[in-house]
């Protein structure tokens, strides 16, 4: 193989564009993961191309992020946003465009790291066509997700089948927490190779500002927030699985509700009319029905640049998900020195150490969340101790550089053990 191609890797994230604004529609943790892993791998000497689907004609087809790291967008179906559950039929076109891109540029990718089940299908096709190795991160498991929702989409059986085949055939699957690995073994298959490598966060960005300075910034930008308010925050996508309703109902029961100081910030989401607008409208209605409109702020999508201010200014960050394979928001808040109250599920059981860096409460249990939030809010000294312990935990375990180093070692091991033999395919048609 051309030595130029030896350190070339493809990160494939069909529906999670690493170059897009985060927090809107379906853009969340996966986009952040792929972008940060890609940039950190480039610093370690890999030539990283991150492949995703182009959703409008106006989008650039190639975006350079830093030396040796770029996003490449392929057409796959119409130029429009398509919810992930409807994307499967567009994947063959994505594969064709990938092969054409390789051919036209004289590249070959000895290893593809795929993200989410849709991309895993693309990776499996590429593996059979060009003989590349495959590493996969699920980000969400159908078998777990479908056990937590009532409306099972028509694509479910295909997804479950693909997720099983993938685990049995990929060179390695990366679980982001021991809990995710256990789910794979219990609910997907006992065959296949799994490594645990967590998600990470930018420990220089989150934690760059202290509480007092962050408060001052927030007070400047929000008329309704005062410097001595008690702030409970959520940030993330507006999706029923995220459990924002639980948080709102918990705040309605808080002992501090009538203190005149309690504020609830619910960040993220698009404007009404976009795909996540339904959930936003539903949550706004619950806020209004519970008489919380005066103390609740919906700042909309918060950019990664401004987020450190919100996290650091908050007294507690709440992650009330029904299910969470990892949950980046929890470690971002912890890195910012803010304790986390989270659902006692999935990756949150790994990142949040209950009574040490925050508290865990049963998912969807408004009363338990309310009590946990109040325990932290009424004891500022304990809040600070939990915050400090959370920050230390993230610095020691969850930096992007540390995560990328583990992935890099994994790729090297796979490529050394099983060198790619087949030449680049010049045409599949």
Report the residue number, 32 or 173, with the smaller CB distance to ligand UDP.
Answer: 32
Nearest to 420 by CA among 87, 184, 214, 112: 112
Can residue 332 be called a binding residue for ligand UDP (CB under 6 A)? yes
Of residues 255 through 274, those in contact with ligand UDP by CB under 6 A are 267-268
Taking the complex as a whole, how short is the minimal distance between the CB of residue 328 and ligand UDP, in angstroms? 4
Closest separation in Å from C-beta 199 to ligand UDP: 7
Give the contacts of 273 (CB within 8 A, at least 6 positions apart).
none
Single out the residue of 87, 328, 341, 352 in contact with ligand UDP (rule: CB under 6 A). 328
Nearer to ligand UDP, 24 or 172 (CB): 24
Contact 135, 176 (CB under 8 A): no
- Least distance (Å) between residue 327 CB and ligand UDP: 5
3-state secondary structure the chain: CCHHHHCEEEEECCCCCCCCCCCCCCCCHHHHHHHHHHHHHHHCCCEEEEEEECCCCCCCCEEEEECCEEEEEECCCCCCCCCHHHCHHHHHHHHHHHHHHHHHHCCCCCEEEEEHHHHHHHHHHHHHHHCCEEEEECCCCHHHHCCCCCCCCCCHHHHHHHHHHHHHHCCEEEECCHHHHHHHHHHHCCCCCEEECCCCECCCCCCCCCHHHHHHHHHHHCCCCCCCCEEEEEECCCCHHHCHHHHHHHHHCCCCCCCCCEEEEEECCCCECECCHHHHHHHHHHHHHCCCHHHEEEEECCCCCCHHHHHHHCCEEEECCCCCCCCHHHHHHHHCCCCEEEECCCCHHHHCCECCCEEEECCCCHHHHHHHHHHHHCCHHHHHHHHHHHHHHHHHHCEHHHHHHHHHHHHHHHHHHCCCCCCCCCCCC
Cα distances (Å, whole numbers) of residue 372 to 148, 342, 421: 23, 9, 56
Q: Looking at 118-126, 144-152, 160-168, 301-309, which segment touches ligand UDP (CB under 6 A)?
A: 301-309
Interacting stretch for ligand UDP, rule CB under 6 A, among 157-165, 232-240, 243-251, 411-419?
232-240
Nearer to ligand UDP, 309 or 328 (CB): 328
Q: Name the one range near ligand UDP by CB under 6 A: 80-88, 129-137, 168-176, 328-336.
A: 328-336
Region of 164-172, 223-231, 325-333, 351-359 interacting with ligand UDP (CB under 6 A): 325-333
Tell whether residue 309 is a contact of ligand UDP (CB under 6 A): no
Site for ligand UDP contains 22 (CB under 6 A) = yes
Decide: is 329 part of the binding site for ligand UDP (CB under 6 A). Answer: yes
Task: Report whether 231 contacts 312 (CB < 8 A).
Answer: no
- Please report whether residue 280 would count as binding ligand UDP according to CB under 6 A: no
Which residue among 7, 9, 19, 30 contacts ligand UDP (CB under 6 A)?
A: 30
Binding test (CB under 6 A) with ligand UDP, winner from 236, 346, 358, 390: 236
Which of 27-35, 92-100, 187-195, 384-392 is the region at the interface with ligand UDP (rule: CB under 6 A)?
27-35
Identify which of residues 268 and 390 has a Cβ nearer to ligand UDP in the complex.
268
Question: Toward ligand UDP, which CB reaches closer, 33 or 109?
Answer: 33
Site size for ligand UDP (CB under 6 A): 20
The answer to whether residue 304 forms part of the interface with ligand UDP (CB under 6 A) is: yes
Work out whether 32 is an interface residue with ligand UDP (CB under 6 A).
yes
Q: Is the CB of 18 or the CB of 327 nearer to ligand UDP?
A: 327
Nearer to ligand UDP, 130 or 328 (CB): 328
Among 18, 23, 198, 207, binds ligand UDP (CB under 6 A): 23
When the beta carbons of 235 and 359 are compared against ligand UDP, the nearer one is 235
Interface residues with ligand UDP (CB under 6 A) are 22-23, 28-30, 32, 235-237, 267-268, 301-302, 304, 307, 326-329, 332
């Amino acid at each position: 193989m051309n030595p130029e191609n030896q350190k070339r890797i493809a990160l494939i994230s069909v529906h999670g564009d690493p170059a897009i604004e985060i927090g809107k529609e379906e853009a969340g943790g996966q986009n952040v993961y792929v972008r940060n892993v890609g940039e950190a791998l480039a610093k370690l000497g890999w030539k990283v191309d991150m492949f995703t689907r182009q959703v409008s004609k106006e989008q650039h087809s190639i975006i350079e992020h830093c030396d040796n790291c770029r996003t490449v967008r392929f057409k796959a179906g119409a130029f429009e946003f398509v919810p992930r559950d409807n994307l499967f039929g567009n994947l063959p076109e994505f594969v064709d465009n990938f092969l054409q891109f390789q051919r036209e540029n004289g590249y070959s990718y000895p290893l593809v790291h795929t993200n989410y089940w849709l991309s895993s299908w693309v990776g499996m096709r590429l593996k059979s066509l060009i003989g590349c190795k495959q590493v996969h991160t699920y980000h969400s498991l159908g078998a777990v997700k479908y056990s937590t929702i009532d409306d099972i989409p028509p694509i479910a059986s295909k997804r479950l089948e693909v997720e099983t085949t993938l685990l049995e055939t990929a060179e390695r699957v990366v679980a982001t927490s021991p809990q995710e690995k256990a789910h794979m073994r219990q609910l997907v298959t006992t065959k296949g190779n799994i490594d645990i490598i967590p998600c990470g966060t930018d420990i220089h960005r989150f934690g760059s500002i202290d509480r007092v300075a962050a408060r001052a910034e927030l007070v400047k930008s929000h008329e309704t927030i005062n410097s001595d308010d008690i702030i409970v925050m959520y940030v993330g996508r507006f999706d029923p699985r995220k459990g924002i309703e639980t948080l709102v109902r918990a705040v309605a029961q808080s002992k501090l509700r009538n203190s005149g100081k309690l504020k609830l910030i619910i960040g993220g989401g698009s404007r009404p009319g976009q795909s996540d607008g339904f959930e936003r409208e539903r949550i706004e209605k619950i806020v209004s029905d519970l008489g919380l409109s005066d103390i609740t702020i919906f700042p909309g999508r918060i950019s990664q640049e401004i987020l450190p201010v919100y996290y650091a200014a908050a007294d507690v960050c709440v992650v009330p998900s029904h299910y969470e394979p990892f949950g980046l928001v929890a470690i971002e808040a912890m890195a910012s020195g803010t304790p986390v109250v989270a659902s006692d599920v999935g990756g949150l059981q790994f990142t949040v150490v209950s009574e040490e860096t925050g508290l865990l409460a049963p998912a969807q249990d408004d009363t338990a969340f309310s009590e946990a939030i109040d325990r932290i809010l009424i004891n500022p000294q304990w809040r600070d101790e939990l915050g400090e312990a959370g920050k230390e935990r993230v610095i020691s375990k969850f930096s992007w550089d540390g995560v990328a180093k583990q992935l890099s070692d994994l790729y090297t091991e796979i490529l050394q053990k099983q060198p790619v033999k087949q030449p680049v395919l010049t045409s599949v048609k």
